[in-house]
Amino acid sequence: MPILGLHHIAIICSDYHASRRFYTDILGCRFLRETYRADRDSYKCDLLLPTPHSLSPTPSPQIELFSFPAAPPRPSYPEARGLRHLALAVSDLDAEVLRLQAAGIVVEPIRLDDETGQRFTFFPDPDGLPIEFYEASPNSLTPHP
Residues 37-73: tens digit of each pLDDT: 999 899 999 999 887 655 555 568 899 999 988 888 7
Whole-model pTM: value is 0.79
Closest CA to 21 of 110, 121, 127, 113: 127
Q: Render the burial of 121-140: b for 16+ CB within 10 Å, e for the rest.
A: bbbbbbbebbbbbbbbeeee
Tens of pLDDT, residue by residue over 70-109, are 888 777 666 666 667 888 989 899 999 999 999 999 999 9
Q: How far apart are CA 101 and CA 97, in angstroms?
A: 6
Contact yes or no for 14/124 (Cβ under 8 A): no
